Amino acid sequence: MDRTGQVCIEIRGVYKRYKSAQEDSLSDVSLDILQGDVFGLLGPNGAGKTTLISILCGIIPVSSGDVRFFNNGKAYSNAERKSRIGFVPQEYAFYQELTPRQNLDYFGAMYNLSKSKLEERREHLLEVLGLEKAADKKVGTFSGGMKRRVNLAIGIIHEPEILFLDEPTVGVDVQSRNAIIRYLQQINQSGTTIIYTSHHMSEAEEFCKNIALIDHGRVIAAGGLEHLKTAHAVPNLQTLFINLTGEAYRD
């Protein structure tokens, strides 16, 4: 049965204020993210995107509010969530001294994959992400694009139901970016829900079905991409972004 359209993440009235901070990093954020969606969390620097992704991934707690996860309408616990989500951070969060194969072996085991399943997934990902030839070379010697692909492979080794991507294509060439986006579209078509942040508006426009624009910790617009463009009478996402967040520099 096709469950696309059911809510898989429900965010209600989430506030986040870091210790010693004067202002909230997130303020009254409420969103529904649908199963099978490609959901873009967009906003200028310091808007609160990474904070929201960190909360959704369980890295930091909310100050107040509620986040709930569902699968086919059935809520599941935080502990269960860890097996079902994948996280691809903005940083190269892996071991540069190890090879892609060794990195995947380690992180795959941390996701509780069996040895045989891990080997199967590892070889599949190395192939589809074009890392096969470099699979036994140290990642530290790789180009930015290759490192991004290793970073992605680690986040999806366990075939997560929900994948969080924080700027997955930052600092990579067009070829690597296309390869990454193409593969993400593939896994989305096979049922993975993707929550993604980016500063590339054209990429987000091409990739996302629904978006939330966040600024100063608040959701300033959310919904279907086409619907938002029509409602704000703008030709593209970049114009919508500038219209809603302004042209002033952000630190």
Q: What is the largest CA-CA distance in the chain?
A: 53
Radius of gyration (C-alpha) of the chain in whole angstroms: 18
Smallest separation, CB 58 to another protein (Å): 6
For residues 140 and 246, which CB has a smaller minimum distance to another protein in the complex? 140
For residue 53, what are its two tokens? 């992704």
For residues 60 and 222, which CB has a smaller minimum distance to another protein in the complex? 60
Smallest separation, CB 41 to another protein (Å): 16
3-state secondary structure of 12: strand
3-state secondary structure of 195: strand
Smallest separation, CB 27 to another protein (Å): 20
CA atoms in the 13 A half-sphere facing the CB of 118:
16
Q: Which residues of 48-79 are buried (b: 16+ CB within 10 A; e: fewer)?
A: bbbbbbbbbbeebebeebebebbbeeeeeeee
Smallest separation, CB 82 to another protein (Å): 4
Give CA–CA dist 28/158, Å, rounded. Answer: 33
Position 251, amino acid: D
Give CA–CA dist 97/99, Å, rounded. Answer: 7
For residues 118 and 237, which CB has a smaller minimum distance to another protein in the complex? 118
Q: Which of 188, 230, 195 is nearest to 210 (CA)?
A: 195
Site residues, another protein (CB under 8 A): 57-60, 79, 82-83, 85, 87, 89, 91-98, 102, 105-112, 114-115, 138, 154
Smallest separation, CB 113 to another protein (Å): 9
3-state secondary structure of 154: helix
Task: Say if residues 95 and 106 touch (Cβ distance below 8 Å).
Answer: yes
DSSP letter at 209? Answer: S
Smallest separation, CB 110 to another protein (Å): 5
Position 224, amino acid: G
Smallest separation, CB 214 to another protein (Å): 21
Beta bridge partners of 164: 87, 195
